[in-house]
Amino acid sequence: MEGTVKCSANYVPLTPINFLERSAIVYRDRISVVHGDLKFTWAETRDRCARLASALHSLGISRHDVVAVLAPNIPAIYELHFGVPMAGAVLCTLNIRHDSAMVSTLLKHSGAKVIFVDYQLLHIAEGALGILLKTSSKTPKLVVIPDQASSSSRVSDMYFNNDNLEYESFLASGRPDFEVIRPHDKWDPIALNYTSGTTSSPKGVVYSHRGAYLNSLAAALLNEMPSMPVYLWTVPMFHCNGWCLTWAVAALRNVTAKGIFECIAKHQVSHMGGAPTVLNMIINAPSVDRRLLLGKVIVMTGAAPPPPHVLFKMEELGFNVTHSYGLTETYGPGTVCTWKPEWNSLPPDAQAKVKARQGLHHLGMEELDIKDPETMQSIPPDTKTRGEVMFKGNTVMNGYFKDSKATVDAFKGGWFRSGDVGVRHPDGYIELKDRSKDIIISGGENISSIEVESVIYSHPAVLEAAVVGRPDDYWGETPCAFVKLKDDCNANADEIIKYCRDHLPHYMAPRTVVFRELPKTSTGKIQKFVLRQKAKDMGSLSRTSRL
């Protein structure tokens, strides 16, 4: 419009760096991070992040260079979430369960110029660099992070046989008055996240400063975070950058129910997050490990559909669970199951079922739909017709790094295709039926592994369960359940199968039940691809007629 002008006074690219700059002013003397005996204020955290950016800059890191980190939830990984973008660079958080071979593959694909490594994981990183050296003369510079929980510690000299750097010395070499390199453009990348865990071919998902900014605000609003939440970091920060909350708001190296209850009591935790397996750990904690909750603790859950039974028990303990669903490609949460006050009068198990649905689109997301992937027509809200869950909005990834084909495929038709199968309820809420690849097809019928698992979880002796397809010469596949029982409980396969047949259509009940530990990713997701391989190794079940 005539008379208006775009200038530095009224236009600034959106970036989460802004949140840290503001917290360093508004909350400068308030605690930012607590880790064991170590505490920082927001002013200190800002100072450390600026030094980090400065030191990276001195090392030759410039705009759009990739900086990797291999570390659990320690203060350094929090600082890297700001310090790396403040140097104009892109943060690549690596999964700490990876072995040296996988780390070397990802370092190569990302072209990372520096890697920050927790002292406990140094052998993995050095192994990876060793592999890289065989094919390339250029390997990333390595910075070792000492044990930050004990203030006296420095990494022992043994770590410095090469020309590795040490994290605290590296920071000390930087200047706190470093002029922060801000994004030129709203599209500038901030993070590169390799999808991992349930799939075998990792892809590098690129996040922008703008998307991270918007998703952070949306997440804080939807989780009803006050100005000064006490956030317990149970979600690994390397997983979708802690669902973007790294940029919205302290951390546990190892997640145990005892540790969680202790932290809640000690720090008056108000908010935390966790996959359903973490919730399961909490509800099954022995009474000696439990503490009474004195205040309301808001728990964000997601990563896998939570069984209604688990939600019910969490609420009984006094937690207030918010259920979100999303993917690495949607900056973590892409939907939220918004609670309606009228549901408070439903019986508890009905409440849990309502809450186990994935809900409606997240505040930062523009649109959520379930469509026929061929015709791109929306499916009717009849709770029956299945389609693919699709997203559109500013909190959808920029694309897959160096993989244009995968990017184009994912965005075909102008929507991000999640690969997940769902239905829509008459109230508009969506419910996941399965990841496409987790659907069991038996005799031409689609069986939702989630539905079978929900029933098994409600069995009083069951601690954890996962259902996959077992190859079958006649049926194609039949449901195969992997079950872990509670410590003091007993049940045999026939009992579990009978229980399922009592609660499900017969064709959906498992034909095979295997009792064992369930393999999990570091975020607590059950690795179904491992179980699918186990089921495959069992071979076909003998032919049987359908019951």
Residue (102 or 222) nearer to a copy of itself, CB: 222
* CB 446, min distance to a copy of itself, A: 26
- Is residue 189 within 8 A of residue 208, CB to CB? The reply is yes
311-350: contacts with a copy of itself (CB under 8 A) = 338, 340-341
Q: Which DSSP category does 397 fall into?
A: -
**Count of residues touching a copy of itself (by CB under 8 A):** 69
DSSP H or E run through 405: helix 404-410
DSSP H or E run through 457: helix 449-457
Written as one letter, the residue type at 241 is N
- Is residue 50 within 8 A of residue 85, CB to CB? The reply is no
175-214: contacts with a copy of itself (CB under 8 A) = 186-187, 189, 192, 204, 206, 211, 214
Can you tell me the distance from the alpha carbon of 463 to that of 16, in angstroms, rounded to the nearest whole number? 39
Can you tell me the distance from the alpha carbon of 530 to that of 402, in angstroms, rounded to the nearest whole number? 27
Residue (78 or 416) nearer to a copy of itself, CB: 416
224-283: contacts with a copy of itself (CB under 8 A) = 224-228
> Which of 75, 76, 133 lies closest to 104, judged by CA?
133
Q: Is 403 in the site for a copy of itself (CB under 8 A)?
A: yes
> Which of 267, 223, 204 lies closest to 407, judged by CA?
204
Residue (109 or 528) nearer to a copy of itself, CB: 109
Q: Where are the beta strands (DSSP E) in 265-331?
A: 271-274, 297-301, 319-327
* CB 280, min distance to a copy of itself, A: 27
Q: Is 501 in the site for a copy of itself (CB under 8 A)?
A: no
What are the residues whose beta carbons fall under 8 Å from the beta carbon of 8, sequence distance 6 or more? Answer: none
> Which of 201, 271, 197, 190 lies closest to 232, judged by CA?
271
- Extract the tokens encoding 268: 């008056």
Among 80, 397, 456, 508, binds a copy of itself (CB under 8 A): 397
* CB 187, min distance to a copy of itself, A: 6
Can you tell me the distance from the alpha carbon of 451 to that of 467, in angstroms, rounded to the nearest whole number? 9
Among 407, 449, 521, 523, binds a copy of itself (CB under 8 A): 407
CA 410, 275, 227, 344 torsion: positive or negative? Answer: positive
27-86: contacts with a copy of itself (CB under 8 A) = 27-28, 30, 64
1-30: contacts with a copy of itself (CB under 8 A) = 1-12, 14, 18, 22, 25-28, 30
Letters for 356-395 (x = contact with a copy of itself by CB under 8 A, - = none) are ----xx-x--x------------------------xxxx-
Residue (365 or 483) nearer to a copy of itself, CB: 365
Residues near a copy of itself, by CB under 8 A: 1-12, 14, 18, 22, 25-28, 30, 64, 90, 186-187, 189, 192, 204, 206, 211, 214, 217-218, 220-222, 224-228, 338, 340-341, 360-361, 363, 366, 391-394, 396-404, 406-408, 410-411, 414-416, 428
